[in-house]
Amino acid sequence: MAKIITLAHQKGGVGKSTLALNLALCFKDQLKVALIDSDLQGSLYHLKEDFPELDILAPEKISEIPSLDYDLIIVDTPPYLSNRLNELFSYSDYVLVHTKAGFFDVMAIKLTLALIKFSQAQNQRLKAGIVLNMIKPRSGITAEVVDLLNTLGNPTFKYSCL
């Protein structure tokens, strides 16, 4: 069965779709990769013709994930708490939760992390990491935010600067 990486956060504009597309492009030469946008009005699915080298699947394929023949499936999700998140987390191996590095931005991921924790009780494979995105150069991350991130109990990855 494929490894499934889901990008989830109920906020929009944090860079989920950008990273989903970049991950698929990064791995496409080594692995058989599919990209699925679970948003019915999904932006990624509309890029299908622009990226003919990628398998960008229709949102309806979500329920078929466990039987799809890929090495890696990257799932992008909409900017709200979709009622499909629990189903997605039940299939996933890893959830990446994006956030900007402001205190209130990081506070806002707690809801998504709580949903992941709930799913981890059923899916013991499931791991999650926080992706810090859009960090302003030279502005750093405040000690308050570092403390907050430490209390969340998930590894933190720094993805990209503005």
Binding to ligand ADP (CB under 6 A) within 111-140 occurs at 133-134
DSSP single-letter state for residue 162 = -
133 closest CA partner among 39, 26, 27, 18: 18
- Is 15 a binder of ligand ADP (CB under 6 A)? yes
Pairing outcome for strands 72-76 and 55-57? unpaired
The 1-20 site mask, x for binding Mg ion (CB under 5 A), equals ---------------xx---
Q: Of 63-122, which residues contact ligand ADP (CB under 6 A)?
A: 79
CA angle 18-24-29, nearest 5°? 145
* Contact mark string toward Mg ion, 69..88, x via CB under 5 A: --------------------
Pairing of β 94-99 and β 55-57 = unpaired
If binding means CB under 5 A, how many residues of this protein chain bind Mg ion? Answer: 2
* Listed ranges 6-14, 28-36, 60-68, 114-122: which one lies at the site for ligand ADP (CB under 6 A): 6-14
Whether 157 contacts 131, CB under 8 Å = yes
Which residues of the chain form contacts with ligand ADP (CB under 6 A)?
12-18, 79, 133-134, 160, 162
